[in-house]
Structure 1
Amino acid sequence: MNAGAEYTALNFFTHPATVEGAPVRKFTDRASDPESNVVSRDSNVTRAYYSIGSVPNRIPGTKDIKGFFSFLSGLAWSFNLTSPRTYRGNLINYPDDGRHYKTPEEYLMNQLFPLPSQLGRNMEYVYEDYQIYFTLYLGYYEGQNVHFGVGPVYGLAFYRMDILQNDTRISSVKNEVQDLKGLRVLFEYNIGQYFPDTILYNAYFFAEITSLGSMDGRGMQIRNQVTTANNLPAPSLYMTMTTYRFGVRKELQLSKETPKKEEGPAYPPLKNLPSAGLPKKEGDIQTTSSETENPG
């Protein structure tokens, strides 16, 4: 079980609109990525959280592999299930800035020179999800007190998203499923070594960075029901999520440990008997002779 804090940055964006097959890049935002148009202010959230998961485990049968396939000994895996978390933020000029257009030329001009955020279309979103995912560590180092791993993340997110404009809900989707793809970097340090006789004997301080929706450069597609100013379907909305977490991981033991047997000799010590092939001591021989001579 993990207990700690997280810092999450959400970004919503769309792919550039096209006119006759050519993408349209906004002239008012020259620093933006030409492959995407960011339509949200950064939604940064810091909060406590809970998650249930497994510690990184080696792939069965690969720990002691030698030779050409020795690289398999560096693989590990883990899974995580997070509690629901809610994020709020603003969408800026999505799916357009609110101006009506009648001709393709007007549409093109509105895309190239959108209104500033103070004058354009502004909406508020409420996004909530919980996630279950697996991490495949392609490189995992497990020392006595330090663990480090890096690898891709695969899983599912179950989410809902509401979009509000002027206190009116204009889009609401629920019980949607989205596949998760991303990358994780994990660092752990054994703090239980300083508390050997307490419940924290196997506790670890951990710090991790998980970036979702950025492996293929397209982000996670999020369903919505928003329309443009001309009541046309809005372009698809995508999302990326980068989470920074730190806290304490405590391993829960669900079964009772088998008590260890006291170590001792494998066989009882041999007695000093003739049948054991050992010579008798001189004292033993004299005692036996005297007992024979004086039986009474």
Structure 2
Amino acid sequence: MSGILDSIIINAGAEYTALDFFTHPSNVQGIPISKFSAPGSGADTSVVSRGSTTTRAFYSIGSVPSRIPGTRDIKGFFSFLSGLAWSFNLTSPRTYRGNLINYPDDGRRYLAFDDYVSNQLFPLPPQLGRNMEYTYEDYQMYFTLYLGYYEGKNVNFGVGPIYGLAVYRMDIIEREHRVSSVKNQLQELKGLRLLLEYNIGQYFPETILYNAYLFLEITSFGDLDGKGLNIKNQVTTANGLPAPSLYMNMTTYRMGVRKEIQLSKVPHKKEEGPAYPPLQNLPSAGLPPKEDTKSDSENPG
């Protein structure tokens, strides 16, 4: 397969994305507080989002997975390098909408320390607590380093980490008032990708789809270190204090067709055999062509 300077890839398909926002538990003198009545609570995180899945068409531009130069035929101790590959992707902007439940608190004011602890341990149920709507939009630019990449005749398979950047904006609306709006924020992307491709172009060798692949791709951002992707916001608690950090996990399932577009001129293959077809009736050793000899014998003198 060609590298990024030789070709680009156009992907067309459908995606299903699960987008979850959560917070780390509050601390009182360094001791995490676990919420007993909030769904999704745990020792590490508390999920505060709802209705954050979406399915839509998408477009992206990138490169085909390519071997690291000079590693394909390595033998011996460093032979594991022959299984490495990389690719680049740039996605189109996508918008996600959903609700934040009881973030950063359930809306009850507290005047004393014991009220604060009680509200954290026993928040109001989502039906009675705080409910805010959010709109999240981003586009992503990232590299994938496939630590294991198999390139067969008609099947390709790869898995490896992702690293890149995302530019995002997020609006949070509570009771028809925008309480937070951040724009053009940069976010470091870390994640993991699983890729499976099947060559459907083998069934259309004489068409423009001769090198088209059907692909299945699973991409997860924010799961490598368990901390999620930090998202800036301007929401305050019911008492007007700064809200705890909001984090995000995004898992995307994509299925579609990718088509390689060649950017550089493909060198012509050298044909076997002579450069020119043999000439007919070529005189040799001064002898006339056969048809001339035959005509002369039929008409002597």
Q: Does 1:18 align with 2:23?
A: no
Q: Secondary structure at the match of 2:78?
A: helix
Q: Tell me the TM-score normalized by structure 1.
A: 0.88
Q: How does 1:1-296 map to 2 (within 5 A)?
A: 1-29=10-38, 32-264=41-273
Distance 1:30 1:99 in 2: 18
Q: Cα offset for 1:42?
A: 4.2
AA matched with 2:171: D
AA matched with 1:58: R
Q: Cα offset for 1:167?
A: 1.1
AA matched with 2:231: I
Q: Cα offset for 1:186?
A: 0.2
Q: Secondary structure at the match of 1:251?
A: strand
Distance 2:207 2:274 in 1: 33
CA distance 1:31–1:213, shift in 2 (3 Å): closer
In structure 2, runs of 5+ residues without a counterpart are 1-9, 276-283, 286-301
Which whole-Å deviations, capped at 9, do the CAs of 1:181-215 have from their partners, x for residues lacking one?
A: 00000000000000000110000000010000111
Q: Cα offset for 1:110?
A: 0.3
Q: Cα offset for 1:256?
A: 3.1
Number of residue pairs matched? Answer: 272
AA matched with 1:24: I
Q: Cα offset for 1:36?
A: 0.5
Q: Cα offset for 1:262?
A: 2.9
AA matched with 1:84: P
Distance 1:162 1:146 in 2: 42
Q: Cα offset for 1:29?
A: 3.8
- The 8 Å contact of residues 11 and 42 in structure 1, kept in 2 or not, is answered as no
Q: Secondary structure at the match of 2:116?
A: helix
AA matched with 1:233: P
Q: Cα offset for 1:260?
A: 3.0
Q: Cα offset for 1:104?
A: 1.1
AA matched with 2:246: L
Q: Secondary structure at the match of 1:72?
A: helix
Distance 1:237 1:260 in 2: 56
Which whole-Å deviations, capped at 9, do the CAs of 1:254-277 have from their partners, x for residues lacking one?
A: 2332333432269xxxxx99xxxx
Distance 1:70 1:261 in 2: 32
Q: Tell me the TM-score normalized by structure 2.
A: 0.87
Q: CA RMSD in A?
A: 2.0
Distance 1:244 1:120 in 2: 32
Q: Secondary structure at the match of 1:70?
A: helix
Q: Secondary structure at the match of 1:10?
A: strand
Q: Cα offset for 1:21?
A: 1.0
Which whole-Å deviations, capped at 9, do the CAs of 1:53-112 have from their partners, x for residues lacking one?
A: 001000000000000100000000001000000000000000000000011110000000
Q: Cα offset for 1:30?
A: 7.0
Q: Secondary structure at the match of 1:252?
A: strand
CA distance 1:86–1:31, shift in 2 (3 Å): closer
Give the aligned partner of residue 299 of structure 2. none
Distance 1:72 1:172 in 2: 45
Q: Cα offset for 1:253?
A: 1.0
AA matched with 1:155: G
- The 8 Å contact of residues 34 and 42 in structure 2, kept in 1 or not, is answered as no
Distance 1:170 1:88 in 2: 16
Q: Cα offset for 1:33?
A: 2.8
- The 8 Å contact of residues 38 and 125 in structure 2, kept in 1 or not, is answered as no
CA distance 1:8–1:30, shift in 2 (3 Å): closer
210-219 vs 32-41, which moves further? 32-41
Q: Cα offset for 1:34?
A: 1.2
